[in-house]
Structure 1
Amino acid sequence: MSKSLLDLTPVEAVACCSPVTREPLSAEAADRIAPLLKALADPVRLRLLSLVASHADGEACVCDLNDAFDLSQPTISHHLKVLHEAGLLGREKRGVWVYYRVEAAALGDLAGLLGGVTG
């Protein structure tokens, strides 16, 4: 059963759209994709995504990320939660720690949406 565009997650909405250089986004697609871009628009979240992606084995524990910022652990966890809810990070609890990994498909889909943009 296929979903309507309004039922898609932000990541699914990006995956189904043509690059913005090929045809204009519909209002519905823009509404669905905006939360994904909004999640990336925060400098802390953008750095967190980069830190997780570049960490050994492509995953990082919250404990590995805290020292990179002059922020409290709850604040870091909040930003990680936003990235997870947007579909950019996966997570797995191991004991008392939560490990995050980049959802490569989400980044690929986002790159595809912006594909073909040249300067």
Structure 2
Amino acid sequence: MSNSPFLTLSPVEAVACCSPLSREPLSPEAAEGIVPVLKALADPVRLRLLSLVASHEGGEACVCDLNDAFELSQPTISHHLKVLHEAGLLEREKRGVWVYYRSSPESMAALAALISDTASQTPAVTPRR
């Protein structure tokens, strides 16, 4: 053993601890398309609303079915649903005085592809205007 004040280390081959999240980085266009979706989901009320609608019997829910799950006013719930609709995550249909929401299969598939390690270039979810 040497009397050197420095420790001598033997070379070690670097090994990645895990697979990358995606096969290639997002393009600027894809990133721009995904931002509205992630912003919409960043709110806990909206995330729960999306989950409630998607898991509701028949895959759709009326605003009147969702109010009791929150201690929020009906206009506030409607606002959050509107944000999810504009982000392309929910589809809506007016029936009489009520609006029924269901999750958008295309947007949910794009969201799943975003977080999946099998996606090569995630399709952008197009916000509704």
- The answer for the alignment partner of 1:53 in structure 2 is 54
Query: 5+ unaligned residues in a row in structure 2: which ranges?
Result: 1-20, 119-129
Aligned residues: 99
Name the amino acid aligned to 1:110.
L
- The answer for the alignment partner of 1:11 in structure 2 is none
Q: Which 4+ runs in 1 deviate beyond 4 A?
A: none
Kindly report which structure 2 residues correspond to 1:58-69, keeping only aligned pairs within 5 A, or say none. 58-69=59-70
Deviation sequence 1:5-44 (CA, Å, 0-9, x none): xxxxxxxxxxxxxxx5110112232122111111111100
Name the amino acid aligned to 1:54.
S
> Aligned Cα RMSD in Å?
1.6
Larger-Rg structure: 2
Query: 5+ unaligned residues in a row in structure 1: which ranges?
Result: 1-19
The 3-state SS of whatever aligns with 2:64 is helix
- The answer for the alignment partner of 1:28 in structure 2 is 29
- The answer for the alignment partner of 2:109 in structure 1 is 108
Output the TM-score relative to the length of structure 2: 0.73
User: Percent of aligned pairs with the same residue?
Assistant: 76
In 2, distance between residues paired with 1:26 and 1:53? Answer: 29
In 2, distance between residues paired with 1:66 and 1:113? Answer: 30
More helix by share: 1
- Alignment partner of 1:81 is 2:82: yes
